[in-house]
A and B are shown apart, each in its own frame.
Chain A
Amino acid sequence: MFGHNFKCALKTLFKNKVLLFWTFAFPIILGTLFHMAFQDIESNETLDVIDIAIVENESWKENKILSHVFDELEGDLFSITYGSEEEAIALLNDHKISGYLILSDTLKVVVKENGIDQTVLKFVVEEITETEEIMKQIAFRNPMKEESFYQNLYSMIGQIQNENKVELVDISNQNLSYTMIEFYTLIAMTCLYGGMLGLYVVNQNLANQSHNGKRIAVSPTPKWKVILSSALAGYVVQLVGIALLFLYTTFVLHVDYGNDILKVIFLTLMGCFAGLSMGIMIATLFKVSENTKTGIIIAFTMLCCFLSGMMGITMKYLIDKNIPILNLINPASMITDGFYALYYYDTFSRYYFDLMSLFLFSLLMILLSIRSLRRQKYDSI
């Protein structure tokens, strides 16, 4: 009976076009779009660089991060003249520069008039100051390889350049981690969307949720066998989908997931399991139409992915910094962060923490649904 039901569940899933779209096609399409967007950025025409001056006082010379950042931006976003404050003021008065920067306690921007250049300048400086703050915190809390630290830094620079629609130069030979994070969230999204598969098959097995469920419930096949085999089928299809996504992003889009393949696989397996158990929870706990349930999964997944940086990496940093508690209940951020930790950190404690969080999340989902999964007789169907 187990095999019979498993086979049937596989067949129904592989023939359900809507489900296959969301779990197979959509992630691949989205991945392609991401890829195109980044390529686009790379081939964009360069905007005119903004002429600025930086006051080279003691604090500036001491601040390694900032000087590094502006070195990177030199020639690309800014054309920078270094000198004393007097020189800077003179340049500003002669309209030779749009503004100048001076670092004391904070990084100050001095401008004379208002215009696009000035706005961009102010925005970038704000962005950099914020990033610098986060970088310091990260460096303080997590021991990182120096290489990784700069990787991170580059990624932020990339981000800043991106947001200002400026040509993105390939700073190192590796892909920018900005892109990487997007693809990590894409994997997270696919894991969670996989919940739809679990939702669908389990829904078909519950007498209070579907007509097929009633038919199955009156048969002499024990309920646990039916549900377990269906959930397993959902999991298998989910894994096929995510394997395709991995193959596609690795070989066609050249995304690099790091070298520890086993850990990557393990994290993905756990992520899929979290998605599956979330799907089952939604299947059992809500008594609404199947389409509504699918809608709930899509909405929840998108929210989770947004909060873990899918639509802009800044979100991830903002949440890491301000409301880290959200990461403890957001499965997408656990998955994204797991990949991130694998790629950037020497130690695995953060990775294992993410893995553990995913496991606990899945466990919670299953505990929530177990009561209604075990129910055999209903008050109303």
Chain B
Amino acid sequence: MPKTIDEINKKIKKGEAVVLTAEEVKEMASSSGIKEVAKKVDVVTTATFGPMCSSGAFINFGHTRPGIRMAKIWLNDVPAYAGLAAVDAYIGATELSETDPNYGGAHIIEDLIKGKDIRLKAIGTGTDCYPRKTVETYINKDNINECFLFNPRNAYQNYNAATNSSKKTLYTYMGILLPNFGNVTYSTTGELSPLLNDPGLRTIGIGTRIFLGGTQGYVAWNGTQFNTTTARNRKGIPIGPSATLALIGNLKKMKPEYIKPAIFEHYGISLFVGIGVPIPVLDQEIARAVSIRDRKIETLLCDYGAEGHPPIARVSYEELKSGSIVINNRKIKTGPLSSIYVARRIAKVLKRWIVSGRFLLSEPVAPLPRRSRFKHLIIRKGGKR
């Protein structure tokens, strides 16, 4: 008998819902079968905690008296985007400080969450309604107006694994890739990862309530670079990068343990984002999807040492997570980029929230795109007007 989200929410309110983490449900499926999962389990919690460069926060500083229309803004010497009204700004995670190469937008986000004071410097041109031309002061999360994380691309449904055939060490967003196929890195949590547990995106859509950075957040839109054309394996899992999510949530309520700035040597700054997504087990098809194990989740191993990062092999997460894989008859060490340890904790926290009735599931307001392809940027001379 299929269930509805409404029915599941009623059970959650009564404290009767059966909630398992994505790993627990897979154990159950292998011992008692998918039918049993569909019958007994109401919600499966999935999670990820990995570096997600396409993240940032909107801030409204409030007005000084007299006011300023901020045209350029720096937070602890990190430029913030000021092209929004008078005192709104967007601070992107990867923006670098103008004075410290190991500090950037991601650190501003962390400092805001921690409640630290941040030096704000802004300049404007001075207008009749906003005569002030400069301001220098300190802000923190308690003395500003709204501050929300709005990440344009998070929670990739699968991503490439990386290696390097070239003769030199590469410093990339996939970590340090050693020469001559010296190592392999991979960035998703495989069977624990949100969008890999609902490969058809049946339950996740615009408006879905989630765990974001330690508080409740929402799916705001499909993420950028959303791609539905990626080839799928027999289990319906895309083999390589496909769907993504744009996420939104109140930064003021986030916890520093679930949002962490990251420095990638000779590449730049990124942000570890903690995400947890509940999957309602509505029917047998979803029960089957949440039961798929790492063995059946595959991705492409791409060579970052060659132009265009061509794929050189197809590998499963079981192989990647085992610690080594074999390429050209050679055993090569693999290492993750995202923390399965923290992701497991997130899945458990979200499970607790649901079991205790603090967190209800939401019906998507609108579905994610059914068709969308990833375009390349074409360089051309002259344009039509």
Indicate, yes or no, whether A interacts with B.
Answer: no
Which A residues have a C-beta under 8 Å from some C-beta of B? none
Which B residues have a C-beta under 8 Å from some C-beta of A? none
